[in-house]
Structure 1
Amino acid sequence: MILIRELVQQAIATGYLTVEAEEQLRQLLAKKYDREDLTAFMRLQQAAMAGNVRQESRELLTAQC
């Protein structure tokens, strides 16, 4: 089973969060997770807000408008 921190590490390394990875994160966050995963998720949020990680879902929404 993949962990939140693994998805975060991949997104930060590539600078891109796919729709599929975002959906996996939603599913994983709905279940129990440990402090390390929560910290990783917060790092991902910060990276996205800083523009270091682009979100495919947001790019798709922008393209539709």
Structure 2
Amino acid sequence: MMCISDIVEQALTTSYLSLEAEESLRQLLRRKYGKEDLQAFMTLQKAVMNCCVVQESRQLQQMAG
């Protein structure tokens, strides 16, 4: 499994966070992680809030709703 920083880097590069990547993040965040991974996750959260990264899960919710 990739580390949090790797998943974040991929999401920032592609401007897209897949369902699989979100699930991987959830699993990784349940475990012990370092400061670098925490900072990367916070960067991803900001990118999502600023509409720089699209979450597949949000797209599916909007289509269903």
TM-score by length of 1: 0.98
Partner of 1:31: 31
Provide the C-alpha distance between the structure 2 equivalents of 1:4 and 1:35, rounded to a whole number of angstroms. 11
Provide the C-alpha distance between the structure 2 equivalents of 1:54 and 1:6, rounded to a whole number of angstroms. 17
Partner of 2:22: 22
Runs of 5+ unmatched residues, structure 2: none
Runs in 1 of length 4+ with deviation above 3 angstroms? none
* Residue identity opposite 2:7 in structure 1: L
Write out aligned runs for 1:52-63 (5 A): 52-63=52-63
Provide the C-alpha distance between the structure 1 equivalents of 2:47 and 2:61, rounded to a whole number of angstroms. 20
The two structures, once aligned, show a CA RMSD in angstroms of: 0.5
Provide the C-alpha distance between the structure 2 equivalents of 1:53 and 1:2, rounded to a whole number of angstroms. 19
The aligned length equals 65
Provide the C-alpha distance between the structure 2 equivalents of 1:18 and 1:2, rounded to a whole number of angstroms. 14
Runs of 5+ unmatched residues, structure 1: none
